[in-house]
Structure 1
């Protein structure tokens, strides 16, 4: 009987490595993605926030308190709160109304209107402020008529509210529209068949459906409004002292530009407000998903 000789591996050739199990490859991929995400957050978020926090408290607690309790800072905080609250209220009303119009009705130009509603997200806020100046300024379309009626929009608080509403409205609209599309019109039609009027249907059916998403959008819009700078800087006039039209962001920019102390404490307070708003929004979103 012939002897069968098995081929032996060539001398010096490295042994074949065993294949990596599928689960181990998935684990390695998750770890890689996790480290990339952590590096992104650390470099672009945590490090800048840490530097601002350190610079805010570096001179001491007394200097920190003096910076945020000065007359200019207190006036700026009050004006920022007023502009943010009014703009979020207007953005909520227009956002819900525009969402209902886009979802519940069919009309020519509906798609174009939806694109224009998202325009503030794509356009620079400075461009939005410039557009408001061209429309409501002294030489704008409606500026002379408004000034003759004793109403000043640009370089005054009304212009700041319009600019902030412009940039924050899409945050409400983007939360409302998907919920309306998913809910459909069956509950509302059933309510009308049972004799409910339009206002009763909206209050009893539509608004409870929108409440979680609407609350989430309002919180995000408030965080956006508090930190708005570009559009407000164009339309505010940036006046300090009597008749101040400086929000906190404008005061921070002024102090940094003029090398005045107190910019970092104000920035730290804005960060706290924004982070608190985002935490509330995340908690609301988590409750909405779990429900």
Structure 2
């Protein structure tokens, strides 16, 4: 391994820090400056609008559903990928990563083709039985689950691989059932990976725009989430209010990550 000189190390560090500041730090600082350009006026003006409040509540609800669904299926898929061998395993692993490679707009269009009430594969049958998927909460939840699918899986898989299955095999040899092994051995070992996956899923879900733009119908006060409201406010020249709502979403995501980082035990951070 080549040992780098001290000036080279400092140069690389400055380049890395500068890159992050230019890409993330500077835009976030600019957003905060614009959000507070008139003190709290932008916030009071934005959140005095019932449609904005409804959009924020709807965003939290959809994100909560996405977190719950992706946590259950994410842990299950991680266990399947790490603990079992089966035909098509590599295909499943690739499919899990697909939402990271495909544009959310494409995801929204794909859902529209499948669940459209007029021409979709399943939409006409579902609507004939009184189930509306598109332009309603179900489609918004599905789209959000799709775009955030890999986050729990990719947090849990490395931890499961690292800890191995020795303790699980020992528990089964002592007569523990699969449920007991999962609850007492596996889940405690991966709990912080699951927590981080949950936080990342929530942060990703509250900011989803592209897929929901297609599947929601973007109806004010009904199927409009916070990112869609931000776009509408900005297009209607209410830029101060748009900055305020955007800053609120960023702050919510950052607070979740910071709180988890503070609560995580130091001994398990290595």
TM bucket normalised to smaller: over 0.9
Deviation of 1:103 after TM superposition, in Å, equals 1.5
The answer to whether the Cα contact below 8 Å between 1:88 and 1:169 also exists between their aligned partners in 2 is no
Which residue in 2 is equivalent to 1:159? 139
In 2 relative to 1, CA 203–237 (structure 1 residues): closer, same or farther, beyond 3 Å?
same
CA distance in 1, matches of 2:262, 2:65: 24
How big is each residue's C-alpha offset from its partner over 1:108-153, in whole Å with a ceiling of 9 and x where there is no partner? Answer: 1111111001111111111111111111112111111111111111
Deviation of 1:282 after TM superposition, in Å, equals 4.1
Give the TM-score normalised by structure 1: 0.86
Which residue in 2 is equivalent to 1:211? 191
Secondary structure in structure 2 of the residue aligned to 1:118:
helix
Return 5+ residue gaps in structure 1 as ranges.
Answer: 1-21
Query: Is the deviation greater in 158-167 or in 258-267?
Result: 258-267
How big is each residue's C-alpha offset from its partner over 1:18-63, in whole Å with a ceiling of 9 and x where there is no partner? Answer: xxxx98x621012111221232223222221122112112233234
How big is each residue's C-alpha offset from its partner over 1:48-83, in whole Å with a ceiling of 9 and x where there is no partner? Answer: 112211211223323422212321111011000000
The answer to whether the Cα contact below 8 Å between 1:216 and 1:285 also exists between their aligned partners in 2 is no
RMSD: 1.9
Secondary structure in structure 2 of the residue aligned to 1:92:
helix
CA distance in 2, matches of 1:284, 1:132: 38
The answer to whether the Cα contact below 8 Å between 1:135 and 1:143 also exists between their aligned partners in 2 is yes
Deviation of 1:288 after TM superposition, in Å, equals 6.0
CA distance in 1, matches of 2:133, 2:174: 46
Q: Number of aligned pairs?
A: 267
In 2 relative to 1, CA 185–276 (structure 1 residues): closer, same or farther, beyond 3 Å?
same
CA distance in 1, matches of 2:141, 2:187: 25
Which residue in 1 is equivalent to 2:212? 232
* 1:187 to 2:164 alignment: no
Find the partner of 1:251 among 229, 233, 236: 229
Query: Is the deviation greater in 175-184 or in 124-133?
Result: 175-184
